[in-house]
Chains A and B, each alone.
Chain A
Amino acid sequence: MASTTTTTTNNNNETPDAPLAPEQLLFSSTDSETLSKNILMVGAGGIGCELIKTLALTGFRNISIIDLDTIDISNLNRQFLFRKKHVGMSKSQVAKESVEKFAGSKQTGINIEAYTGNIKEERFGLDFFKKFDIVLNGLDNLEARRHVNRLCLSANVPLVESGTTGYKGQVTVHLRGKYCSCFECAPKPVPKSFPICTLRDTPSTFVHTIVFATDLLFPRLFGANKEDPSDLDEEEARDAFTRKENEAGTAFAKRVFAYVFEKKIKDLLEREDMWANRDKKPEALDSETLLKTKEERTATTGYGDAHKKWTMEEASEIFVRSAGKLFEKGDRISEFDKDDDDAVAFVTATAQLRCANYGIEYMSRFDAKGVAGNIVHAVATTNAIISGLIVIEALKILNAQKHLDEKEEGEGKNDRLIKLANSRYTFVGNFNAGRQLLQPLAPDEQNPKCVVCANARAELCCDISKTTLADVISKVLKKKLNTNEPTVLKGDDMLHEEGEDLDDDEVENYAIIGKRTLQDLGLESGGILCVDDNSQELKFDLVVVHQNLEEFDEDAFPEGFELRGETPKVAEGAEKEKDEDGAATDGEASDEIEIVEEGVEITKAVESPRLGKTKAIASSPSPASKKRKTK
């Protein structure tokens, strides 16, 4: 880096909270000491490739990089360290080798440690995190990002967080402290859930029709558990969805077609109360005509131009033909897979036909695939920009650390650090917002209600006579609060434990306890469950408040419970801090900008507790958990 001859002593040092001078943050201070710091990069994807390149060019010499993923052809438009010949290989390994090609190897320049694995694995626990001076996240899923946040808090290592989608992106800096927030202090967009009845009977958007196809119809016909009860199984539906002995796949598909797009709609229309308060009624398709026209075109193969919308006749024919193909695959299918062309064609056709039923604008196969597979929009440029911003924030933190008093400890030290470093949250891609391509904001302060970093309690509002402990563990603790291996206590009673070191009879015992409702476990409204997750060094109290299931608004809380506690902080004094140059950091804008995540799933159906089904219709696996399953 630049070596300047400036020897100016910085008077700012006398006031503890004033940022350091530029040369102490970036220029002359970026010396050999800074550049030999230990850096942990989580993620070797879109952001990761750009980031490791920018770190190496800056002169950083000790970098560890973790990714569980292998290289896919659709990565090559932006993950420039990978070539076609690398498809199928470990991202972190290839990234290391590609960087060494220009930056030299361990002997001559740079020391890169590449790990192929999931960041949630035990070997990447607290002791691992403590080895690093800073952690830089380039992750594509919320679950892993929240996990890393918790470990960084425990290990007291600064975290630079980032995310991109399309042209938008952001970089933020997190530490535990009163004047700095953790990644989870601000509420995160959760996957949208739709009530089953909306999906099944009253869809109003294209997304509804896609989720109907991927989460209801597809699993009912082709899924690994197609024999299990489904939310689609109303009285006569069971017949319609059961393949007769020796029935050809396409013949069965035609029966399903006639039921789903015609018979079922006609039945619904008879329920007049249902349509009394709705603008428009659905329209049944004429399955006989639609299915007849395609007889002459049985020779058709393929599904045509992915960007062209199908006609109704085409969609009908493709519904039957793709279903036939999928039946042939039989047990090789377990769930909807966006990389299976037949599955995508089936889902697209189903969605289009449903759209015709309900007068909804439909989309091409390409767009339907994007919605169904929750595919991230991504370009190289945004990742490159974000990588630059991450490195700048990292340099500022690492250089500012040198000016901290070694003996000082705790949160006050972190507060000082983030001020000295003049850390910023930067948002990219809101061009129309004030003609700023890059918008720097002062970092958020700690949210006193944050369960993760502020020792706040979480509050669960649910029907304690119907909610079981297992529900709380899977739907609340794991899905909403992102715990990994939670232990649950009520007073001194251990209600739940998990992990590999449990005996079989312990596992069995906890399974039995899990089936009991909270009421049966002796919990009253206002009672407290203590939750402790060793793998994340996270501990908090969960206050349970009773509310009858019937009193929950189904649209707002389709899962039949409400989790409070992680509420966003009230905008205390809309006036944001002034930054170094005295320029206002656009306090009002901070609320307008939504934090974007690469790869947060858009849609999923949820089990409706009112239907009393024992099986969850759709879990909502994030991309990462999906990958873990297949690993």
Chain B
Amino acid sequence: MKNNNNNNNNNDDKEEDEEHPSMKLTDAQAEMYDRQLRVWGVSTQLKIAKARVLILGAESPTLLECAKNIVLAGVSKVILCRGKAKEEEEETLSFLVSVEDRAKKISVAEAAAKSLQEMNPFGEVSAADFKFEDLEEDKDAASAILGENYDVVICCGRRVHANTVKHLNEVCRERKIAFFLTESSSNHGYFFSDLGDAFEFIERKKHDSDNNEDGKESALLTKPFESFGSAIQKTSFANFKPKRSCKFTPIFCALKQLELMNLKPTLEEVREHISKLPDGDKVVDGVSLEDLALFLDNRIEMPAIAAIVGGLLANEVIKSISHAEEPVCNFFCFDVLSGKGAVEKLG
């Protein structure tokens, strides 16, 4: 990975961050973070302040929303990687790119990094380049590219091949990095998460705000996650319950299964291909051609959906760092038409 900002990757990544019991928030941080400290407490804030997050495909509005949220939360370091050349970037409005920067043709990732840095001076935000295509065939390339030590990797799912996602996820698994995939369109948005084989978290018993019994009862629980590749491949379409699921979830899984098989059907062929998958007829039965067209119509990301999915995803990123709430395991899909935002277990 080529880093545009050259002073941010040498020293602090190497040192093993031992828990410093004496580590405290500065007064300035305590002042600025006051309202969120009341939501997640000091120990979570300190964990967030040490976290390093890599964002791949930073031109996605959903990822920019998510980046804003985690920068505000106070992560130590965020690197925004653009997933394509500047020439390929679309002319969509972004709240992190000023009119001047857009006129100067500065890449979204670079302009956004600058805006985010202004938003929270306590963290460090930088931009870098990244080429998804290189990873499609080659897991070693993914391994090489994730040379640094991150706590979280968030990958854009839009126009990124399922094999690339699979490779990136596998490398993250090996290095115990939390992995997220996200995408939204004009009618739906989703995210997938893999927090490893045994993600530990503390579940605090729900309490009435009347009784000040904060965090009195809590238990350490473990949740098993699966990698993208295996979750997608193991998904059985027989198990989807239309009432609970988002109608796009089976379509998503079916399309990704086809992609992992290196099939590239056209829109006309998609239904036929899906019906050939095990229990694929169940997907096809519940899905009209219009639904499919809607799903595949990802020309535009609706800003409202990006805000919703980017917000919910940022909550999950914080959970993966804090280990202090039950995380979503392992797939969330929002369908703007029904208004439903359901959590589902893939795999």
Q: How far is the CA of A35 from the CA of B307 in the complex (A)?
A: 18
Asked whether, in the complex, the Cβ of B336 is within 8 Å of the Cβ of A392, the reply is yes
Mark the stretch among A118-126, A143-151, A257-265, A377-385 that contacts chain B.
A377-385
Q: Which of A325-333, A409-417, A543-551, A575-583 contacts B (4 or more CB under 8 A)?
A: A575-583
A424 to B38, CA, bound (A): 30
Interface residues of B in 294-309 (CB under 8 A from A): 294, 297, 299-300, 302-308
Q: Is B312 an interface residue (CB 8 A)?
A: yes
B61, B69, B342, B343 interface centre (most CB from chain A within 10 Å) = B69
CB–CB B93/A385 < 8 A? no
Name the residue of chain B whose CB is nearest to the CB of A429: B315
Q: Which listed residue, A80, A102, A376, touches B98 by the CB 8 Å rule?
A: A102
- Cβ–Cβ contact A78 & B304, under 8 A: no
The minimal Cβ–Cβ distance linking A69 to chain B, given in whole angstroms, is 14
- Chain B residues positioned under 8 Å from A579 (CB to CB): 338-339
User: Quick one: CB contact mask for B335-347 with A, threshold 8 Å, 1 for yes?
Assistant: 0111111111000
Which B-chain residue is minimally distant from A19 (CB atoms)? B337
User: Are A391 and B304 closer than 8 Å at their CB atoms?
Assistant: yes
State in angstroms the CA–CA spacing of A324 and B209 once bound together.
33
Question: Contacts A102-B93, A307-B42 known; A78 to B36 CB distance under 8 Å?
Answer: yes
Q: How far is the CA of A22 from the CA of B95 in the complex (A)?
A: 27
Interface contact A380-B73, CB-CB below 8 Å: yes
Interface flags, B302-344, vs A, CB<8A=1, else 0 = 1111111011101100100000001010001010111111111
Tell me if A224 counts as interface (CB < 8 A to partner B).
Answer: no
Q: Is the CB of B38 within 8 A of A580?
A: no
Inter-chain CA distance A205–B98, complex, in Å, is 51
Q: How far in angstroms is the closest Cβ of chain A from B117?
A: 11
Q: How far is the CA of A361 from the CA of B214 in the complex (A)?
A: 11
Given contacts A384-B307, A388-B308, is CB(A436)–CB(B99) below 8 Å? no
| Of the residues B61, B310, B337, contact of A580 by C-beta under 8 Å | B337
Q: Contact: A437 with B343, CB < 8 Å?
A: yes
Q: Which residue of A lies closest to B102 (CB)?
A: A102
Query: Within the complex, what minimum Cβ distance (angstroms) separates A350 from chain B?
Result: 16
Contacts between chains A and B (CB distance < 8 A), count: 204
Structural contact, A74 and B34, CB atoms closer than 8 A: yes
Chain A residues near B318 (CB-CB < 8 A) = 381
The residues of A that contact B326 with a CB separation of less than 8 Å are 431-432
Q: Does A229 contact B (CB under 8 A)?
A: no
The residues of A that contact B314 with a CB separation of less than 8 Å are 380-381, 384
Given contacts A206-B212, A388-B307, A431-B326, contact A376 B35 (CB under 8 A): yes
Within the assembled complex, what's the spacing in Å between the Cα atoms of A7 and B300? Answer: 19
> Scoring B residues 270 to 298 as 1 if CB is less than 8 Å from chain A, else 0, what string do you get?
00000000000000000000000010010
Minimum Cβ distance to chain A for residue B31 (Å): 5
A54 adjacent to chain B (CB < 8 Å): yes
A424 touches B339 (CB 8 A): yes
Kindly report which residue of chain A lies nearest to residue B338, judged by CB atoms: A581
B6 CB within 8 Å of chain A: no
Interface string of A1-39 (1 = CB under 8 A from B): 110100000000000000000100011000000000000
Interface centre among A26, A77, A584 (most CB of B within 10 A): A77
Chain B residues near A378 (CB-CB < 8 A): 35-36, 38-39
Q: Is the CB of B304 within 8 A of A54?
A: yes
Chain B residues near A27 (CB-CB < 8 A): 186-187
Task: Check if B261 is an interface residue, CB within 8 A of chain A.
Answer: no
- Contact among B39, B65, B119, B339 with A384 in the assembled complex (CB-CB below 8 Å): B65
**Chain B positions within 8 Å of A305 at CB level:** 24
B32 in the interface, Cβ–Cβ < 8 Å? yes
When the two chains form their complex, are residues B304 and A363 in contact, meaning their CB atoms are under 8 A apart?
Answer: no
Tell whether A510 is near chain B: CB-to-CB under 8 Å: no
| Known A78-B35, A102-B93, A440-B339; contact A385-B299, beta-carbon cutoff 8 A | no
Q: Give which listed residue, A167, A363, A377, A434, contacts B35 with CB less than 8 A.
A: A377
Check A92 for interface membership: any CB of B closer than 8 A. no
B244 within 8 A of A: yes
Are A167's CB and B338's CB within 8 A? Answer: no
With contacts A380-B72, A391-B303, A583-B340 taken as known, whether A166 is within 8 angstroms of B311 at the C-beta atoms is no
What is the CA–CA distance of A387 and B206 in the complex, to the nearest angstrom? 26
Ranked 3 nearest A-B pairs via Cβ:
A438-B341, A440-B339, A388-B307
19 A-B contact pairs sorted by A residue (CB < 8 Å) = A26-B187, A54-B303, A54-B307, A58-B304, A73-B32, A77-B33, A80-B68, A103-B93, A205-B211, A375-B34, A377-B36, A378-B35, A380-B68, A381-B315, A384-B65, A385-B308, A385-B312, A436-B342, A583-B338
Given A375-B38, A392-B305, A392-B336, 16 other A-B contacts at CB below 8 A? A2-B300, A4-B297, A57-B94, A77-B35, A78-B36, A166-B39, A375-B35, A377-B39, A380-B72, A381-B318, A383-B311, A388-B305, A395-B304, A436-B340, A439-B341, A440-B338
